[in-house]
Structure 1
Amino acid sequence: MGESNVCAARNSNCVFEAKYHLLSLCKSCTARLAARGSSPTYRFALVKGKIMEMFLGTIVPVAFPFAPRGFMTCAGQLLSIAQNSALFSLLGTTYGGDGQSTFALPDLRGRVAVGAAQGATGRIAADMGTVAGNAATTAILNGTGVAAVTLTVANLPAHNHTATFAASGGGGASTLNVSTDVATTSQAAPNSYLATGKAGGLNQPLMYRPDAGSGTAALNAGSISGGGGGGGTVTVNNTGSGTPLQAPVTVSVNGQIPTVPPFVGVQYIICVEGIFPSRN
């Protein structure tokens, strides 16, 4: 027969139960446990004066920096399947381990727990055990408790702006130089150049002077000079159009684009000795 859950000293402040060792044991019950080789393990919470038993695998945040008896920190550590078969039957290798001799606890150090949503539309696609993000490369924690990244031009989606051009100034001047040589022909022969005019036969003035060579009838390059100039203003409108696209975010210590809300660090612990949860 199991032991009675009545305090051995009839102490109303002593919380004792034979199968599980609870909180606030009196000296008589503590001695009783010691006599049978047991010691209290704390696996329960006191809610409105009543004992609430913890299910195996329950994760709770606590404000103290250690794991009480019956709990372990959620730090991704590997546990022996042989020594934790009940917990393994619940977690499996969801959070790691080889499934042969070891399995892993969830690692919530520096991470935020997100409700698992398998294929839910409009929500984060986070299956049980999904780990996303990399604190080493995707965010930088600064003294204000927020994370920041830098967006560069390479991160912007493809887009365009309308622009207008208003011309101003413009114009130019050119000079056509004529040689002082006396012209010898009225025909523009290849490689000829303008020369000093001279009266020719049949009232045809002589204007050109041929030179040796062949090709098209082009004036000598040295006979022509010119120049010009202009100006204007290009105005780019602020409004435009573009097509949204996914772009990587470049991380830099020079940016101040917040990506994480203000937070406070607490410790997450998981129950490794508790009541096995029933599906029914």
Structure 2
Amino acid sequence: MVDSFVGEIRMFMGSYAPEYFAICNGNALGVSQYQVLFSLIGTTFGGNGTTNFCVPDMRSRVPVGQGQGTNLTNRVLGATGGAEEVGLTGATMPIHTHTMVATTTTADVQSPKNALLGALTGTDAQFAPNTTAANAQLRPMATSVIDSAGNGVPHSNIMPCQPVNFMICTQGTYPVRA
């Protein structure tokens, strides 16, 4: 026998499950063969509850404590969460602005003091600077003036890690409630 509680999960660096343990890979186990373990975890991690039930699938997962900490979301035993990749959207980016200083005064020199952009005259297709911009009325730039940036590919959300095997005890001491 083993000195572990049935249902206890341990980390193991071997590539196999030691005696009295099963790898936590989401596999289904027979209810009749593992009655004691089934009495503890039931179908929390899957299975039909009649002939089989599943062990937790800890592959590429980080365990977290169940319950709800102060100012945190509730974590229910057996639930999963998180994502390996996250795409930034306008809704997930912090509020920020992009500013540009310009003037509505007509541009009339090629090398303006303070390098401010000036208003176009006639059908000119390029901006010309204005030296009187320091005292000119400034206004916000049209949103169409600055091009979009980035390529929209999600970024990795995986923290530095060292993979190990998680094993659940299938035979051992039955954990009596305190």
TM over 0.5: yes
TM-score (normalizing by structure 2): 0.66
The one-letter code of the counterpart of 1:126 is R
Q: Which of 160, 164, 171 in structure 2 is aligned with 1:262? A: 160
Q: Which of 30, 33, 53 in structure 2 is aligned with 1:80? A: 30
Give 1:84 deviation, angstroms: 1.3
Specify every segment of 5 or more residues in structure 1 that has no aligned partner in the other structure, as ranges.
Answer: 1-19, 21-42, 44-52, 140-148, 171-227, 238-249
Higher gyration radius (CA):
1
The one-letter code of the counterpart of 2:82 is G
Give the length in aligned residue pairs.
146
The one-letter code of the counterpart of 2:153 is S
The one-letter code of the counterpart of 2:58 is L
Contact persistence 1:106–1:129 (CA under 8 A): yes
Matches within 5 A, 1:141-160: 149-151=86-88, 155-156=92-93
Q: Measure, in 1, the Cα distance between the counterparts of 2:92 and 2:55.
A: 37
Give 1:252 deviation, angstroms: 1.9
Q: Which of 166, 169, 175 in structure 2 is aligned with 1:271? A: 169
Specify every segment of 5 or more residues in structure 2 that has no aligned partner in the other structure, as ranges.
Answer: 108-120, 142-150
The one-letter code of the counterpart of 1:229 is G
Task: Name the SS for the 1:89 alignment partner.
Answer: helix
- For residues 65-88 of structure 1, the C-alpha deviation after alignment (integer angstroms, 9 at most, x for no partner) is 110111110011111112211111
TM-score (normalizing by structure 1): 0.44
Contact persistence 1:163–1:235 (CA under 8 A): no
Identity %: 32
Pairwise CA RMSD = 3.4
The one-letter code of the counterpart of 2:41 is L
Q: Which of 252, 270, 274 in structure 1 is aligned with 2:153? A: 252
Contact persistence 1:56–1:273 (CA under 8 A): yes
- For residues 181-206 of structure 1, the C-alpha deviation after alignment (integer angstroms, 9 at most, x for no partner) is xxxxxxxxxxxxxxxxxxxxxxxxxx
Deviates more, 1:58-67 or 1:95-104: 95-104
Structure ranking higher in strand proportion? 1
Provide the residue aligned with 1:104 in structure 2. 54
